[in-house]
Amino acid sequence: MQSVQSAPSVVPAPSADPRPDRPEDVAAIMRGLYGDGFIGRPGAFPRELVARIAEDVAVLAAEALRTPGGIVPRGPNRFYVEVHPERLRDLPALVGHPWIAAVCDAVLGEDWRVVEIGFDVLGPGAADQPWHRDFAAPPETTRGRRLNSLAFNMPLVDVGDDMGPLEIAPGTQWDDLSDAPKGMFPPESSWPRYQALAQRKTPRMGDVSARSALTVHRGTASRSDRQRPVLVLGIDAPDARNGERHDLQLTREAERRMAPELRRRLRARIVDRLEPIVQAHQIEGLDTGRVDVSRMTPQVPAKA
């Protein structure tokens, strides 16, 4: 496999704990994720840190857009890119954030691992997605009534109502979609129920949310000329298998310089040089529609 040579890796900078004095309410975390399937922490990160992450994502998006197969379409002018962890300068601050760690400890147990790091970009002309979940519910959820994975979303811009915000149908992580296509796409006859339940999310830079990826949701149509990039962390309990859809890699040099606790949290294979990521998390049903590269040129927001 050909090695990645487009840009040098960025070894993560030292972590900073932005909320060291704020205890977390475990009961509220469990109630939110087992109830609505979605919780959030407003102002979790300094806007300056989010702007720096947005700068890294802009570089990575530009690389992906000019690489054959570098993006995964998620609909018209909407795409996903999985990234190498060491290309994000502020990875330690993300993975080590006390709220993220507390949520993972409470729901997934103390041996959770990051299995996915990527970003979604929605641009002008993006259309409503069909209601869906990100993968079929595993038996631990359908039979055991237990969540064994979480997705964390960090918006890299202030999201306006015209920018195609995410809609969540609370409580639907428990819906039986076993007869639906791929166990992910409820029939259109059920869409009015999801629309009636829908909560539209318009977070700001610095906010972060946690959700079960099984909670039925959709990206909505954009009426804006601005992009809406969102950083995504996928995190598994020890018995989850979502890592099979992803390919986290670390170079030996990055691993050597990484703090042991951060390294312990990454389910990654070690390589001499970063290799192109073979994107295994294609979502058939969301991959229709053309991505107009001319309208998806990465945008770097102001630093707050």
pLDDT in tens, 93-108: 999 999 999 999 999 9
Tell me the one-letter amino acid at 212: S
Strand ranges for the chain from DSSP E: 38-41, 72-73, 78-82, 113-122, 149-155, 166-168, 199-201, 208-211, 217-219, 228-236, 249-251, 269-271
Q: Which residues of 72-84 are buried (b: 16+ CB within 10 A; e: fewer)?
A: bbbbbbbbbbbbb
Question: Averaged over 150-174, what is the pLDDT?
Answer: 98
Task: Give yes or no for residue 287 having a pLDDT over 60.
Answer: no
Question: Averaged over 80-93, what is the pLDDT?
Answer: 96
Task: Give yes or no for residue 5 having a pLDDT over 80.
Answer: no
- Are the beta carbons of 291 and 75 closer than 8 angstroms? no
DSSP 237: -
Tell me the one-letter amino acid at 65: L
**Euclidean distance between CA atoms 16 and 211, whole angstroms:** 24
Question: Averaged over 40-65, what is the pLDDT?
Answer: 95
Q: Which helix (H) or strand (E) holds 105?
A: helix 98-108
Task: Give yes or no for residue 89 having a pLDDT over 80.
Answer: yes
Interval 226-276: pLDDT, tens? 999 999 999 999 999 998 889 999 999 999 999 999 999 999 999 999 998
Task: Give yes or no for residue 8 having a pLDDT over 90.
Answer: no
Pairing outcome for strands 38-41 and 269-271: unpaired
The C-alpha angle 146, 184, 76, rounded to 5 degrees, equals 130
- Are the beta carbons of 234 and 156 closer than 8 angstroms? no
Give the residue among 121, 106, 60, 110 at the shortest CA–CA distance from 85: 60
**pLDDT the model gives residue 293:** 60
**pLDDT the model gives residue 212:** 98
Task: Give yes or no for residue 4 having a pLDDT over 50.
Answer: no
**pLDDT the model gives residue 11:** 39
- Binned at pLDDT 50, 70 and 90, residue 42 comes out as very high
Instruction: Quickly name the fold that domain 26-279 has.
Output: Jelly Rolls (2.60.120)
**pLDDT the model gives residue 220:** 97
Altogether, the residues listed in the chain come to a count of 304
Which residues, other chains included, contact 57 with Cβ-Cβ below 8 Å and sequence gap of 6+? 119, 156, 229, 231, 298
**Euclidean distance between CA atoms 165 and 200, whole angstroms:** 6
Task: Give yes or no for residue 15 having a pLDDT over 50.
Answer: no
**Euclidean distance between CA atoms 60 and 284, whole angstroms:** 24
**pLDDT the model gives residue 39:** 97
Question: Averaged over 81-99, what is the pLDDT?
Answer: 96
Mean pLDDT of the chain: 88
- Binned at pLDDT 50, 70 and 90, residue 75 comes out as confident
pTM: 0.88
What are the domain boundaries of the chain?
Answer: 26-279
Question: Averaged over 80-97, what is the pLDDT?
Answer: 96
Whose tokens are 């690389």? That residue is: 63
**Euclidean distance between CA atoms 129 and 260, whole angstroms:** 40
What dihedral angle (degrees, nearest 10) is formed by the CA atoms of 58, 120, 109, 185?
-170
Of 1-10, 79-88, 148-157, 199-208, least confident by mean pLDDT is 1-10
- Are the beta carbons of 61 and 118 closer than 8 angstroms? no
**pLDDT the model gives residue 12:** 38
Question: Averaged over 212-217, what is the pLDDT?
Answer: 98
Task: Give yes or no for residue 79 having a pLDDT over 50.
Answer: yes
